[in-house]
Amino acid sequence: MTTQTGDSGVHLETEPLLAASHVTAGYGKTQVLSDVSLQVHPGEVVGILGHNGAGKTTLLKCLFRLLPLREGEVVFGGQSLSRRSSVETVRAGMSFTPSEKPIFRDLTVGQNLELGAHALRDRSDFRERLDEVLEIFPVLADRQQDIAGKFSGGQQRQLSLAIALMARPRLMLLDEPSLGISPAVVSKTFSTIRDLARGRGMSVLIVEQNVPAVTAIADRVYVLRNGSMVLEETGEQAREREVWWDLF
């Protein structure tokens, strides 16, 4: 049980929604993550900062079950995900948005959104979900027949969030959502992410190199360096921190 107050006013006297304990993982003979632990609570926006190659994307892939754990455990919503597939992870209420190619470029916007709900067993409320998502991203509403690959970087990023929302996740894992978009669009995208968390009680775990963008909206921040967690602090503490380079 964690007791903590983020600057959003969210009082975290709750069981964590996601708890990763002592995670070790890697590719082939290369070990990328060593003994990494983290928690995300309901309604919380958590940032993971770190340099290139620190293991941030590997960590997200482990949490989403795209990469097997060598050691440790991932518990989501009170249930262990350690032996589950990514399909079961989606059904349990977790979404993952990769940093590169976060959409299906060859398909239309409508088809992309439809795929966002692919894993759902009950699709009877698909129309309702679609309307809900289009209300959040009205720019997509009139362009459902357009090929997604023709969108600008910012629009593609919006679409990627919309795809994730179609499954109504309890936790969104976002891998570098600022990648490939202009600073003005970064700010707008992160505001949208913050609003989603605040308005819907959804949790968000963001992996980023863009420190100001993450700290602006995060309730809590971790720093990952060379595959190990070297810092955990509140969003408020992170915003007051002037020097980051010694941590990277």
Partner 1 sequence: MDLGLFAQLTVSGVVIGMTYALLGVSFGVIYATTKIFHLAHAVPYATAAYAAVWASERLGLGLGLACLVGLVAGTVAGLAIEFFAYRPMVGRNATLLTIFLVSLGISVAFPNLLQIGFGPDNKNLPGFQNRTYELGSITLSRHDILSVVVSGFLILAVVLFVDRTRFGRSITAMRTNPTMAAAVGIDRKSVYLLVLGIGSMLVSVAGLLFTLQGVASPTMGLAPVLTAFIAAFLGGIGSLRGAALGGLLLGLVSSWSALFLAVDYGPVVVFGAMFVVLLVRPQGLLGKEAV
Close Cβ partners of 61 (under 8 Å, ≥ 6 residues apart): 67, 96
CB of 218 to partner 1, least distance (A): 22
Q: How far apart are CA 49 and CA 119, in angstroms?
A: 30
Binding residues (CB under 8 A) for partner 1: these are 28, 64, 66, 85-87, 89-91, 95-98, 101-107, 111, 114-116, 118-119, 163-164, 167
Tell me which H or E stretch contains 131.
helix 126-136
Tell me how crowded residue 170 is: count the other CB atoms within 10 A of its CB.
Answer: 20
CB closer to partner 1, 73 vs 88: 88
- The nearest distance, CB 69 to partner 1, in angstroms, is 16
Smallest gap, in angstroms, from Cβ of residue 209 to partner 1? 19
Structure tokens, 248: 């990277």
Q: Three-state SS string across 88-100, please?
A: HHHHHCEEEECCC
Strand spans (E) along 129-216: 171-175, 203-208
Min. distance of Cβ 116 from partner 1 in angstroms? 6
Q: How do the residues of the chain divide into helix, strand and coil, expressed in percent and rounded to 5?
A: 35, 30, 40
Q: Which is nearer to partner 1, 91 or 241 (CB)?
A: 91
* Smallest separation, CB 185 to partner 1 (Å): 20
Give the nearest distance from C-beta 112 to partner 1 in angstroms: 9
Give the bridge partners for 30, in sequence order.
27
Q: Which residues are CB-contacts of 29 (< 8 A; sequence separation ≥ 6)?
A: none
CB of 91 or CB of 194, closer to partner 1: 91
Measured from the CB atom, is 62 or 167 closer to partner 1?
A: 167
Give the nearer residue to partner 1 in terms of CB position, either 19 or 162: 162
Q: Which residues have a Cβ under 8 Å from the Cβ of 217 and sit 6 or more positions away?
A: 45, 47, 190, 191, 193, 194, 197, 235
Choice between 95 and 210, CB closer to partner 1: 95
